[in-house]
Amino acid sequence: MPLLEAITCLSAAPLTEIAQRLHQATAPYLRSSALVIFTEDCTGRPQKKSGDESVISRVSIAELDHIRTSLNSSGTWRGTAAIGGTDRTALALGSPTNALLVLTDPQPVGQASLDIGAGGTGGEAQLPWQVGYLWNLAAERIREKVADAPPSYLIESRAASAERVRVTAELVDRHSTTLETLLAALRSPALPDETARKSATDFAAKALVELRTLNDRTTELVEEPVATAFQRLREDLRPLMHFSGIDVQFIEPPVNGRALPGEVAHAARAIVRGLVLAMVEQPDVRRIRTQWDCDGANLLINVRDDGLGSLSAEAPSIARLAQRVEVLNGRMAIDLMQGWGADVAVTIPLDPPGRSLPDVAAWNLGDRELEVLQLLAAGQRNRAIAGKLHVSENTVKFHLRNIYRKLGATSRTEAIALAHSNGLRN
């Protein structure tokens, strides 16, 4: 595939196909059995995969996180790592958007080579420049698509994120109980063979730490503390502050403010970056102030410059930002003060928009089925639903099958997303 054709294909790629298209685009320069993208921009689907099913169906976030820690200062690494539960040769690349690309069993095409660090067990990789260029383009495309995503995508993404947190929490509780029981038994002085007991104790303690770390990591992907999200914005704008000569001031949000859903945090940073860039393009701007606050239900953004008040709400760049705000069911107001500058206020709801409840009537749910769906949408597991309704888990499963059929849903996550989009929320 010629490079220009590959660039065009990637630039127009929807989120659901971007991994497959990147895999195809890099093939003329670097063959690989599988391609995995790990991006925090898509909180509902942090992994995007293409290639060998034995790899893409088993690779875990924990494995990708471990590979990320191996990246060197240039953002590349090649070596052997556990991927999908099996040790494989892999090539990893970071990106300015903090996304990670992993290619398994990489083989250069033609005269290209993949030189690695001393010893051949892992190190910096010299790869074809086309691969790095295409990857950075794909990573930026992902961030842009998430920022411009329609409400339906945001609702479904948040539902998937919440479902992943619930499943992980359930696994943590179950395995923590098992391991803590194991630790209590192994620490008992009544057991013989102290050396074996110590080894097993150390192993179980390590497994507990890893399990808790996985739970914390999953939670971080779903939402960001508002102060952390704002700090990432500051880092994004640091190069502009350095090269433009404009004083960009930051008014910190309250440290204890409500955490931001991942989609809101990413979109908010993109909106502020766009506003700052639009203000920088005006003449006589020397200072820009950006401030975030949170009232518990909304993220409140204010960006103000000290220019001549010539910022145009009809400018294409501002119109695109207004569309991004609308996607999140938010509001943007621009106050122009001739000779004093522009003041832009943005309000973004922290909860996804819902439609009115009459849409639910079209599903023809029975009273008990509606009760089950409401509890499902509130994040309850089958056992908890059974307890609240005083029925058996088998009865809950029976109702869920009927609910899926009536909603046209194929999974629990899809049913939750449909319930949320029709106003059934916790």
pLDDT tens sequence across 102-154? 999 999 887 555 554 433 445 555 678 889 899 999 988 888 777 666 555 56
* Structure letter (DSSP) for residue 86: E
Chain mean position to CA 152: 16
Is 0.75 topped by the overall pTM? no
Beta bridge pairs of residue 380:
none
Mean pLDDT across 266-276: 88
Query: 149-163, 300-314, 343-357, 383-397 — which is least confidently predicted?
Result: 149-163
Long-range (24+ apart) CB contacts under 8 A made by 28-31 are 28/1, 28/109, 28/130, 29/108, 29/109, 29/112, 29/128, 29/130, 29/131, 30/91, 30/103, 30/106, 30/107, 30/108, 30/109, 30/112, 30/114, 30/127, 30/128, 30/131, 31/106, 31/107, 31/108, 31/109
178-223: per-residue pLDDT in tens?
676 677 666 766 667 777 677 777 767 777 676 666 655 555 556 7
CA neighbours closer than 13 Å in the CB half-sphere of residue 268? 34
* Structure letter (DSSP) for residue 126: B
378-412: per-residue pLDDT in tens?
778 888 888 888 888 888 998 998 898 888 887 88
Buried b (16+ CB within 10 A) or exposed e, 207-237: bbeebeebbeebeebbbbbbbebbeebeebb
Confidence of residue 169 (pLDDT cuts 50, 70, 90): low
Confidence of residue 26 (pLDDT cuts 50, 70, 90): very high
Which tops the pLDDT comparison, 211 or 28? Answer: 28
Mean pLDDT across 53-57: 84
Question: Which ranges of 281-364 does DSSP label H, i.e. alpha helix?
Answer: 316-327, 358-361
Residue positions counted in the chain: 426
- Longest alpha-carbon distance in the chain: 84
66-101: per-residue pLDDT in tens?
898 888 878 889 999 999 888 999 999 999 888 899
Provide the token pair at 17: 């196909």
Q: Give CA separation, 111 vs 35, 114, 328, in Å.
A: 22, 10, 48
Mean pLDDT across 305-309: 88
